[in-house]
Amino acid sequence: MSGSETQSQTVPEDEVINNCDWYNIPCHADWAVKEMDLALANLIDGVLMAFADLINYLPVPQFLIDAEPVYLPAALSWAAEPFQLEYGLNIIVAAYVMRFTIKRIPFIGG
């Protein structure tokens, strides 16, 4: 590369703070919409994190603490292993618990 040639360097879009002229209203409006989207995302994240913290403080009933694990016989366990029964049952139980919980929320659960 010779000295007279210049390399054009592009700045990544993430690093551009504000590339709008003062009279370019649509550019400023686009920036405002992006900022409102970020604020809404942060608000939703905060609400969901507060809900998760609230779930952690709920007491666990004693009958769940005292429950003994259920084991399948070896032959049945061997046949069920390719279907990942343990993983699937965890998902199903979590889905039913979430459905039960959502049904109790006013204006959402109906």
| pLDDT tens per residue across span 32-84 | 888 999 999 999 999 999 988 888 888 888 888 888 888 888 888 888 889 88
0.85 cut: is pTM over it?
no
Neighbour-count burial for 36-51, b at 16+ CB within 10 Å, e otherwise: eeeeeeeeeeeeeeee
Residues 6+ apart with CB under 8 A from 1: 7
